[in-house]
Amino acid sequence: MSRTKKHVLAMLAAAPLLLASGHGFAATGQEASKPVKPETESRGEILSLSCAGCHGTDGKSASIIPSIYGKSPDYIETALIDFKNGSRQSTVMDRHAKGYSDDEIHLIAEYFGNLSKKNH
């Protein structure tokens, strides 16, 4: 959790009345009964949205750029780590991979890996 978010939550916790009204509200909302996505999965999805700009929606490429969809989590994670530490040659992927922590790379790999499993 980011420092910013922790700070916000701390502030909210210090205002129990406000927090309570927020929750009560959510419970009456139409979407409240829907299962809330676990934080890690959502984070993986948010991170993965960035990839679609070049690799296509859901990582399905329609061009010379390689697809991510259909690759295994292991393959994706290894590729990204190798781009990051420079052991795999690239044009632009090294510059992108350096923007993600190893944990984030793991989440991205899991997200894309599971996406193709889900739809097969």
Size of the site for other proteins (CB under 8 A): 52
Decide if residue 81 touches other proteins (CB under 8 A). no
Cβ pair 82, 19 in contact under 8 A: no
Q: Which range touches other proteins (CB under 8 A), out of 56-64, 74-82, 112-120?
A: 56-64
**What does DSSP assign to residue 92?**
S
SS3 at position 60: coil
Computed from CA positions of residues 101, 107, 108, 109, in that sequence, does the dihedral angle turn out positive or negative? positive
Contacting residues toward other proteins, per CB under 8 A: 2-5, 7-8, 11-12, 15, 18-19, 21-26, 28-32, 34, 36, 39, 42-43, 45-47, 49-50, 52-57, 61-65, 91-92, 95-100, 104
